[in-house]
């Protein structure tokens, strides 16, 4: 398989550069000849000067830090975004923008730990292939990063879009959007309407549709894809009346809005009250619910970093985040109502999960026990596993049936098995089963649904080996990041590496789906009654697996909780 993919890769590169194969061709920016964007791009907002990039022996172009909205500062904090004003001078777009303000209490790979966070963060990065040899407009792949609606940014090395753009032959766009209180605080009024982060994304889409033709992009072929909370956002965008007709396809990686178990509107109000009380903006007599204008005005005067850090400290050991909500222009009704009734625009989707989604939850929720990356390797008894599950599933009322489902057959000291079953339960409930339920229901309205299960622990993974293929592990592979640092010649002459193969194959697969909806013929539709999926594993790439679907027995057991 590795040799075959290497050959296919070589042929594709040769075709792109008109069969020029000597090494100077790939090192010389002029070898492709000039292209239409060497002198910059004239958009409706103003002229943008990008930079030429070199990736894997090929050339591309990047436009970094392109503003798409006014800075959401001062009176615009907690407000929906406003369109960016035109600029008169050339915009030099060669530097990554700052991340939106977020807390620092995490070691997960999707947290942006670099300095330079700012409230003024509504910028997008645009990556594209370079050259005149393409005859038609590029598809546009719009990446929505995850991070639990509390962290994340468009400048993470793992999601640098040049590799994906190169192998997908598409434009990759990644906008920053506000997270935490800045992006999702809600007063239930226009003072802080909630969903600001999602309105940021919609504003970015508006800018893309109005300007992407200047980059030789196709405004009528925009494909959204996201992971984790980004996948939740993608699934909600598919339901929203505001986004009907904006997207041609979608890719949903590990998540859906069905994982939002509580009433988000009430949850956001209660969390907002707690946050405001902790920064002396609210009290038992002055509440976000009864005095929204006064409380929100006070919160506007609090340092943004202080709000982020205080929010993260409200519930130690548990993720604390505001959530997307409904009842506004973006989502007038509960998105479940749109999904169950089929009242949404049908577009094909590629959707899936990783094999061991829940293992990272043990390390993030119990770092003192497992280590922040699982490095302690601690094993747990059945009794302790039961305690973890009771705590995690306390919202369900009586979780004893669930404990029996996952741990009932195990002995007290079956420590490895107990640990695996505990993180399987966490992953099933939080990620895997909500993704399965969404795929099943979405497919019930004659939609094309292709389901995958990804299994490969990246060689550079920060997580311990016992954690398997956990949440986010597919992201650097999709973005072809394992190939960073290789040239055309070193790739062809290097010992075969299944991770290199996977990086090329998966980024090309995502790109084929984005450009034309192409998918291999043996990959049939997934549905509630036909749980066929493709097993994405570098050693056995594109291995078609027939039902039952991923963790189907557990998802059948958990279905009652999601339907009630």
**pLDDT reported for residue 36:** 60
> For the residues 62-75, what does the mean pLDDT come to?
98
Across residues 253-280, what is the average pLDDT? 96
Q: Which pLDDT score, from 0 to 100, does residue 253 have?
A: 99
Residue 133 has pLDDT above 60, yes or no: no
Tokens, residue 414: 């079956």
User: Which among 204, 246, 554, 200 has a CA at the least distance from the CA of 406?
Assistant: 554
Q: Does the structure show a pLDDT above 90 at 387? A: yes
pLDDT for the residue numbered 10 = 38
Q: What integer is the mean pLDDT of 497-520?
A: 86
- pLDDT, residue 497, reads 66
Look at residue 309 and give its three-state secondary structure: helix
pLDDT tier for residue 481 given thresholds of 50, 70 and 90: confident
The strand pairing partners of 5, in sequence order, are: none
Pick the CATH number of 28-361+428-563 from 3.40.50.1820, 3.30.70.890, 3.40.50.2300, 3.40.630.40: 3.40.50.1820
Lowest mean pLDDT among 303-307, 392-396, 414-418, 430-434: 392-396
Burial (CB count <10 Å: 0-12, 13-18, 19+), residue 296: buried
Task: Report the share of the chain in percent with pLDDT over 70.
Answer: 86
Torsion of CA 382, 387, 392, 394, to 10 degrees: 130
Predicted local confidence at residue 544, as pLDDT: 56
Q: Collapse the DSSP code of 58 into the 3-class scheme (helix H, G, I; strand E, B; otherwise coil) and give the result.
A: strand
Tell me the average pLDDT across 247-276.
96
Residue 459's alpha-carbon distances to 182, 462, 493, 535, in angstroms, are: 35, 9, 20, 19
Lowest mean per-residue pLDDT among 211-220, 320-329, 454-463:
454-463
Quote the pLDDT of residue 144: 99
355 compared with 456, residue with greater pLDDT:
355
Q: What is the per-residue pLDDT for 266?
A: 96
pLDDT of residue 541: 55
Q: How far does Cα 475 stand from its chain's mean position? A: 8
- b or e along 331-348 (b: 16 or more beta carbons within 10 Å of the residue's beta carbon)? beebbbebbeeeebeebb
Structure tokens at 379: 């094993």
Alpha carbon of 499 to those of 54, 110, 456, 458, 502: distances in Å?
A: 20, 20, 8, 7, 5
* Band of pLDDT at residue 130, cut at 50, 70 and 90: confident
Of residues 261 and 207, which shows the higher confidence score?
A: 207
Compute the C-alpha angle 473/474/477, nearest 5°.
115
Residue 295 CB contacts under 8 Å (≥ 6 apart), including other chains: 187, 276, 281, 282, 286, 287, 288
Contact at 8 Å (CB) between 391 and 404?
no
Q: Which residues pair with 223 in a beta bridge?
A: 141, 249
Residues 6+ apart with CB under 8 A from 424: 356, 358, 406, 551, 554
Q: In what order do the strands lie in the sheet with 217-227?
A: 51-55, 58-67, 123-129, 171-175, 138-144, 217-227, 249-253, 349-354, 449-454, 533-536, 543-545
pLDDT of residue 206: 98
First-residue to last-residue Cα distance in the chain: 46
pLDDT-based confidence at 6, cuts 50/70/90?
very low
**pLDDT tens digit string along 104-116?**
766 677 777 777 8
Average pLDDT, the chain: 87
Which residue do the tokens 């504003």 mark? 203
Inter-residue contact 68 to 203 (CB < 8 Å): yes
Percentage above 90 pLDDT, the chain: 67
pLDDT at 23 over 50: no
Task: Work out the pLDDT band at 349, boundaries 50, 70, 90.
Answer: very high
Domain range annotation of the chain: 28-361+428-563
Read off the pLDDT band of 67 (50, 70, 90): very high
CB 151 within 8 A of CB 102: yes
pLDDT digits (tens, 9 = 90+) for 538-554: 766 555 565 556 788 99
């Amino acid at each position: 398989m590795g040799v075959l993919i290497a050959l296919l890769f070589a042929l594709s590169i040769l075709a792109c550069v008109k069969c020029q194969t000597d090494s100077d061709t790939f090192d010389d920016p002029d070898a492709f000849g000039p292209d239409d964007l060497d002198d910059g791009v004239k958009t409706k907002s103003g002229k943008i000067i990008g930079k030429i990039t070199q990736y894997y022996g090929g050339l591309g172009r990047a436009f970094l830090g392109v503003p798409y909205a006014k800075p959401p500062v001062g009176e615009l904090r907690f407000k929906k975004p406003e369109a960016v004003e035109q600029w008169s001078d050339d915009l030099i777009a060669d530097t990554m923008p700052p991340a939106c303000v977020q807390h620092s209490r995490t070691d997960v790979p999707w947290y942006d730990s670099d300095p330079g966070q700012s409230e003024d963060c509504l910028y997008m990065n645009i990556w594209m292939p370079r050259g005149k040899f393409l005859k038609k407009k590029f598809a546009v792949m719009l990446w929505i990063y995850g991070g639990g609606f509390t962290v994340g940014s468009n400048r993470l090395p793992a999601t640098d879009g040049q590799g994906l753009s190169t192998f997908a032959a598409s434009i990759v766009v990644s906008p920053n959007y506000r997270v935490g209180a800045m992006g999702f605080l809600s007063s239930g009024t226009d003072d802080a309407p909630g969903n600001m982060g999602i309105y940021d994304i919609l504003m970015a889409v508006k800018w893309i549709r109005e300007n992407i033709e200047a980059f030789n992009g196709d405004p009528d072929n925009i494909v959204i894809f996201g992971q984790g909370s980004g996948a939740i956002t993608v699934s909600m965008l598919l339901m929203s009346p505001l986004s009907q007709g904006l997207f041609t396809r979608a890719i949903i990686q590990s998540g859906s809005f069905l994982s939002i178990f509580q009433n988000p509107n009430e949850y956001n109000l209660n969390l907002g009250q707690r946050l405001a009380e902790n920064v002396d903006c609210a009290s038992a007599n002055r509440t976000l619910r009864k005095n929204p204008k006064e409380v929100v005005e006070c919160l506007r005067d609090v340092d943004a970093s202080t709000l982020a850090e205080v929010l993260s400290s409200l519930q130690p050991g548990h993720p604390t985040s505001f959530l997307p909500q409904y009842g506004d222009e973006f989502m007038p009704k509960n998105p479940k109502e749109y999904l169950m009734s089929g009242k949404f625009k049908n577009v094909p989707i590629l959707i899936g999960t990783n094999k061991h989604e829940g293992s990272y939850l043990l390390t993030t929720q119990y770092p003192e026990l497992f280590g922040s990356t699982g490095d302690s390797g601690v094993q747990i008894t059945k009794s302790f596993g039961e305690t973890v599950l009771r705590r995690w599933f306390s919202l369900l009322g009586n979780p004893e049936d669930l404990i029996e489902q996952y741990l009932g057959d195990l002995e007290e000291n079956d420590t490895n098995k107990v640990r695996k079953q505990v993180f399987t339960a966490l992953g099933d409930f939080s990620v895997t089963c909500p993704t399965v339920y969404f795929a099943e229901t979405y497919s019930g309205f004659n939609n094309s649904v292709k389901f995958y299960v990804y299994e490969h622990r990246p060689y550079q993974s920060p997580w311990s080996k016992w954690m398997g293929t956990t949440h986010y592990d597919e992201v650097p592979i999709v973005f072809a990041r394992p190939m960073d640092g290789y040239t055309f010649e070193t790739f062809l002459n290097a010992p075969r590496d299944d991770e290199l193969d996977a990086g090329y194959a998966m980024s090309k697969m995502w790109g084929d789906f984005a450009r034309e909806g192409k998918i291999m013929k043996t990959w049939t539709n997934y549905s509630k009654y036909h749980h066929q999926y493709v097993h994405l594993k570098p050693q056995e790439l594109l291995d078609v697996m027939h039902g039952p679907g991923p963790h189907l027995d557990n998802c059948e057991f958990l279905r009652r909780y999601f339907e009630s």
